[in-house]
A and B are shown apart, each in its own frame.
Chain A
Amino acid sequence: MQKLMNVFIVVMTMFLTMSLANAVPDLEMNTPAILAIKNSMQARHNQLAPHYASGAIGLTKDGLIAVRDTTAVPLKDRQGINALVAAENADRNALYKEIAAGNGHPEWRGDIQGTFAGRWIDKAQAGWYYQNDSGWVKK
């Protein structure tokens, strides 16, 4: 009986390991929804870029962006900055959701968001701000 149990455990472990090994999300996939979101983010990037550079906004550790220092935003853009950040975050949240859905695993959303958080920070230009556990850091 004990032997049978061991075999069962080994088989189950192999099965689980295999499913985990196969469970690699495709982060580069492009469904029409993902393309639409990427286009929308691309179109917004020109508006965001000067604010990343000035340190007005920064990349958060959860794959979103946030206003870091309102006083660094030129007065003419100051009123719209919160809406701009909110729109970008709505797109980013939708992107993570769509990539998870496109992979057929909506429950992967959180992990995908975590992976993207690291990617955005890696891809950030020098001088941009990002968040780590101790707060805002200048890259």
Chain B
Amino acid sequence: MFLRLVFAIGFCCSLFSPQVLAISAIQIQVGEVDAPAGKLKNAQFQVDLKGTKPTLILKAEVKPTNEKEFIPFNLQCEQFNTEKIGRVDCLKGSFTAKQVKAPFSVHFVSYPNDFAMDIAFNAANFSDESGLHAGENLTGQIKLAAKSVNNIWQWNGLISWDKGELFWQPFYFGKAGNRFEVNGTFKQPMLNIENASLLVNEVGKMTSSVQINTKTQMVEDIKVNAKDVDFAGLYAIFLKPMAEKSVFGNLEVSGKADWQFEIKNLEPSSFELNLRDANIDDKNGKFAFKHMNAHLPWDYNNAKTVSIEYESGNLLKMPLGDTKLSAVINRYSFTTPQLTLPILDGALNFTDLSAAMIADNWYWHVGMNVSPISMSAFSKALGWPIMQGKISGRVPQVTYAGKQLVMDGAMTFNVFNGTIGMDNLKIEDPLGVVPRLQADLQMRDLDLGDLTRTFSFGNIEGKLDGDVKHMVLENWKPVRLDASIQTSEGKHLKKISQRAVENITALGGEGTAVALQRTFLRFFKEFNYDKIGLSCKLRQDVCEMGGVESTATGYVIVKGSGIPAVNVNGFTQRISLSDLLGRIKRITDGNTKMVVE
């Protein structure tokens, strides 16, 4: 240990009164002190014992080893009592330094092998240089008593505050009324805190034991236990800081919780979170669970069974029903043979689910089949026009890795008396800001009657096939696809109403619908057709249009048949998708009111 004192002590002034030889004042000045913990310079220590209330002033500049600059500080006691041996009182004290202003009082009692200290602070402000440990307007007390037995200090203490706020990276205690009772031992370099009792406002009572290596300043072991505490407070103060970068980092929660975790030798060794009647809402609107009960244990050495149940909820706007899930978690992997996620009147049934965390990334594999979900409830839940039919399907394998969800196998939607198959589904970053979906769709034998009535398009009877290839949705909006729909092969009724003819015409632009009204054709409510077809090759916002066949100036959308035959031709080859969707919306909205004479 290197200790260098550059003394410039002016032991000075009126040290002795001529009659009684009592000390009335002490002044010490120290130029510089160099110690392993840091440096101290320009120290001035002054005790004035003359008046009825002795005072103490200590001014100096310190530079802890890890800091770059000297920090001046000033410690004063307006009333400094040292009358009794082994006892020092500093009343109306104040400690000021850069970013610290703490009015305080201290009572200090010291005996050969023990000491007790009682500090009261009032509206104290402090912060370290980085601002990661700071308090504002704190009023409370610190009590500390310690006894040395065979070179081991046994100590107990209390920290409590009834006013102010405290931030101790990464924890923020915004509401005062916190009381931490701690006791333990200290033997260089280990500081042991045993059975600390932490009463945290808005959370409840927690217990903790901690082992800190004061040399490395590392918390080597820690154990925290909280029973039946408030989940909202527990989440806000303790869980949110740990989950900040995950999808659970921005939640609104309520309910009751038990929580315990243990870190041994700097490694997490166990964790358990139990939730009772909890509500969880993602503030980004990606998911929510209502009335959730969960048992989420984890142990480094032993496999544990996780169970979750909730009454309702939603995931990416998809409504979730009453659900009970359980799975086995084994260190960093997660397995279950069967998992059912009820959605409306059906369910997603997951089989052979397995997940593993490898290098901080989760990899999921699961098979899935869909117990039929009724389209009417599903479309209503998503705010779509009400559709009849069922969604069902079987997907041999879904994988989720590196924020990408890939589905091997097809999902089938049984809608409009036909089928829509979805294949080659891939979703990048489904819970992120820009989810990007890729898929192919195959529509077969859709009942045009059902379809046109659902979307208020004007009635068309017939059946429709369609293929959408290389579809890409960004944030669920199409930016690329090669789509074509056309009348299905085979015999079926093919009729198109006058209103539908007008609406299809209006899709291609303005004008021709009016023309129809001017001719004798206006007396016909419906027409026969041979084929209907439309195609769109979408790149960004531009759709290159086509129909059942090409003409010199455009393409045929409806090819009439019989007498009178009506052909609807399209002339706009390239159309902006947002314009096209705008037109469709105007038509479907307008048709609910429109009357054709």
Which residues of A line the B interface, CB within 8 A?
Answer: 31-33, 35-37, 40, 69-73, 75-76, 78-80, 82-83, 86, 90-91, 94, 98, 102
Q: Which residues of the other chain, A, contact B174 by a CB distance below 8 angstroms?
A: 75-76
Return the contact of A32 from the options B165, B170, B240, B477 (Cβ within 8 A).
B477
Measured between alpha carbons, how far is A69 from B498 in the docked complex, in Å? Answer: 69
Which residues of B line the A interface, CB within 8 A?
Answer: 99, 127, 130-132, 134-136, 165-167, 169-172, 174, 240-241, 244-245, 249, 433-434, 436, 473-477, 479, 540-541
CB distance from B480 to the nearest CB of A (A): 11
Q: Which residues of the other chain, A, contact B169 by a CB distance below 8 angstroms?
A: 78-79
Question: When the two chains form their complex, are residues B434 and A79 in contact, meaning their CB atoms are under 8 A apart?
Answer: no
**Which residue of A has the minimal Cβ distance to B135?**
A75
Most chain A beta carbons < 10 A, residue from B127, B244, B434, B540: B434
Main secondary structure of the interface of A (DSSP, over half): helix
Question: When the two chains form their complex, are residues B130 and A36 in contact, meaning their CB atoms are under 8 A apart?
Answer: no
Number of A-B contacts (CB under 8 A): 72
Question: When the two chains form their complex, are residues A75 and B170 in contact, meaning their CB atoms are under 8 A apart?
Answer: no
Q: Which residues of the other chain, A, contact B479 by a CB distance below 8 angstroms?
A: 31-33
Measured between alpha carbons, how far is A82 from B131 in the docked complex, in Å? Answer: 13
Q: Which residues of the other chain, A, contact B127 by a CB distance below 8 angstroms?
A: 71
Measured between alpha carbons, how far is A73 from B479 in the docked complex, in Å? Answer: 41
Q: Which residues of the other chain, A, contact B241 by a CB distance below 8 angstroms?
A: 79
CB distance from A44 to the nearest CB of B (A): 10
CB distance from A88 to the nearest CB of B (A): 11
Question: When the two chains form their complex, are residues A86 and B131 in contact, meaning their CB atoms are under 8 A apart?
Answer: no
Return the contact of B130 from the options A70, A76, A80 (Cβ within 8 A).
A70
CB distance from B394 to the nearest CB of A (A): 31
**A31-B474 CB under 8 A given contacts A75-B166, A75-B167:** yes
Q: Which residues of the other chain, B, contact A82 by a CB distance below 8 angstroms?
A: 244
Question: When the two chains form their complex, are residues A75 and B132 in contact, meaning their CB atoms are under 8 A apart?
Answer: no
Question: When the two chains form their complex, are residues A73 and B131 in contact, meaning their CB atoms are under 8 A apart?
Answer: yes
Question: When the two chains form their complex, are residues A35 and B132 in contact, meaning their CB atoms are under 8 A apart?
Answer: no
**A78-B477 CB under 8 A given contacts A37-B433, A71-B131:** no
Q: Which residues of the other chain, A, contact B477 by a CB distance below 8 angstroms?
A: 32
Question: When the two chains form their complex, are residues B540 and A31 in contact, meaning their CB atoms are under 8 A apart?
Answer: yes
Question: When the two chains form their complex, are residues B244 and A71 in contact, meaning their CB atoms are under 8 A apart?
Answer: no
Q: Which residues of the other chain, B, contact A70 by a CB distance below 8 angstroms?
A: 130-132
**A40-B433 CB under 8 A given contacts A79-B167, A83-B245:** yes
